[in-house]
């Protein structure tokens, strides 16, 4: 009598696991490229639907028809839409975001200068959010039956309901106006060359973003921890003699981290977009100020450049979060049966 075969799984060996991860990375990269192309199409179409002509940014009041035609030829708006789109996509493929209509400076170079403010602000705000959300979220779940566990949960709900710019105004009122500990806004003209002044200027904006995003992230950490605390594998580990802390660290953290990582990607993207808003509140020369000024001046290359780079960063953040999930959770790599 033949014994039934024992199934093997394609991801049970290190080589198979590596192949599965590489295959997923390739598929996810293709999806990233397609998503970026779709975003570029949408961006191109939406900007062309706006009233007015991009050439108006180069013209003054009372421009003659000859001047209007010359300006349209200069910016390329006299070309058919499919020609403009082909030029737009070709420039993106060469990492050429064009030249500002107003300042005549390279859009990519200007975005690079502004990123030196936006990216550190995003990173600091996100770091503060994680530092607050992870321990407090776990504590509020583990001690849900205590008063301080419930208080943490209530405060996080309140933090989610408060708009980020209002939190910024409250912090400015407290620390800049009343206590006079920190500046209310601004950034040194020499940028990070004046490191001390630049770092101090980042404190309130980063704290504003960190508190608001931390309140939102805390809710997800709390929910993930509650799921782990009610899981069978944690009860089994406790029944086999493991202490609560040992069972939680060895068996709970990795399983609880899987859903939180996907949320971390969303929160990081939200933190980046929130930084663009907060820059306006604290008068920081980042991407937010560049975008608003470009819209006011109808400087279409700058508008296109900032929106495209912002979309690219958000897509890359989602890409990195998906890969991190695959590396942590083997169940997401796929288990295909093959006969022995």
3-state secondary structure of 8: strand
Tens of pLDDT, residues 101-111: 878 888 888 99
d(CA 231, CA 33): 39
DSSP state letters, 210-228: HHHHHHHHHHHHHHHHHHH
Classify residue 320 as exposed, middle or buried by CB count within 10 Å of its CB (0-12, 13-18, 19+). Answer: middle
Q: What local confidence, expressed as pLDDT, does residue 6 receive?
A: 42
d(CA 207, CA 128): 7
Say whether pLDDT at 259 is over 50. yes
Enter the tokens of residue 163: 């708009």
> CA 90 → CA 33, 45, 299, distances in Å?
15, 16, 20
CA-closest candidate to residue 55, choices 45, 40, 65? 65
Using pLDDT thresholds of 50, 70 and 90, give the confidence band for residue 2. very low
CA-closest candidate to residue 183, choices 174, 167, 172, 196? 172
Q: How many CB atoms lie within 10 A of CB 209?
A: 27
Average pLDDT over residues 198-226: 88
- Determine if the pTM surpasses 0.85: no
What's the first-to-final CA gap in the chain, in angstroms?
18
Tens of pLDDT, residues 82-132: 888 888 888 888 888 888 887 888 888 899 888 888 899 989 988 999 999
d(CA 306, CA 76): 20
Q: Any idea how long the chain is?
A: 340
d(CA 328, CA 73): 54
d(CA 255, CA 227): 9
d(CA 207, CA 132): 11
Say whether pLDDT at 337 is over 50. no
Say whether pLDDT at 11 is over 60. no
The boundaries of every CATH 1.10.3720.10 domain in the chain are 115-334
Chain-centroid distance of CA 48 in Å reads 27
d(CA 200, CA 185): 10
Say whether pLDDT at 5 is over 70. no
Q: CB of 179 within 8 A of CB of 170?
A: no
Report CA dihedral (102, 103, 108, 109) to the nearest 10 degrees. -170
3-state secondary structure of 6: coil
Instruction: Tell me the CATH architecture of domain 115-334.
Output: Orthogonal Bundle (1.10)
**Count of helices and strands (H, E) across the chain:** 12, 2
Any idea what the Cα angle at residue 192 is, between residues 206 and 198, rounded to 5°? 45
Q: What local confidence, expressed as pLDDT, does residue 3 receive?
A: 41
Say whether pLDDT at 219 is over 70. yes
């Amino acid at each position: 009598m033949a014994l039934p075969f024992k199934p093997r799984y394609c991801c049970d060996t290190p080589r198979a696991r590596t192949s599965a991860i590489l295959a997923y990375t390739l598929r996810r990269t293709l999806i990233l490229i397609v998503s970026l192309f779709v975003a570029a199409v949408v961006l191109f179409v939406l900007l062309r639907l706006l009233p007015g002509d991009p050439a108006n940014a180069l013209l003054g009041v009372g421009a003659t028809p000859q001047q209007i035609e010359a300006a349209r030829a200069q910016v390329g708006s006299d070309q058919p839409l499919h020609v403009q789109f082909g030029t737009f996509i070709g420039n993106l493929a060469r990492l050429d975001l064009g030249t500002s209509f107003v300042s005549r400076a390279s859009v990519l170079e200007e975005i690079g200068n502004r990123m030196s403010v936006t990216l550190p602000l995003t990173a600091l705000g996100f770091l503060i959010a994680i530092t607050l959300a992870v321990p407090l979220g776990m504590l509020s779940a583990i001690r849900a039956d205590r008063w301080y566990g419930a208080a943490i949960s209530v405060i996080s709900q309140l933090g989610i309901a408060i708009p980020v710019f209002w939190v910024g105004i409250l912090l400015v009122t407290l620390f800049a106006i009343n206590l006079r500990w920190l500046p209310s806004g601004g950034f040194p003209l020499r940028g990070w060359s004046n490191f001390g002044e630049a770092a101090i200027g980042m404190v309130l904006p980063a704290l504003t973003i960190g508190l608001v995003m931390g309140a939102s992230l805390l809710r997800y950490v709390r929910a993930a921890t509650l799921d782990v605390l009610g899981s069978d594998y944690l009860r089994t580990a406790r029944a086999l003699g493991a202490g609560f802390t040992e069972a939680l660290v060895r068996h709970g953290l990795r399983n609880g981290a899987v859903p939180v990582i996907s949320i971390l990607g969303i929160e990081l993207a939200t933190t980046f977009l929130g930084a663009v808003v907060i820059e306006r509140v604290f008068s920081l020369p980042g991407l937010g100020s560049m975008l608003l000024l470009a819209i006011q001046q109808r400087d279409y290359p700058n508008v296109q450049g900032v929106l495209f780079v912002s979309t690219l960063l958000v897509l890359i953040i989602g890409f990195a979060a998906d890969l991190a999930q695959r590396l942590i959770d083997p169940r997401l790599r796929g288990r295909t049966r093959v006969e022995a």
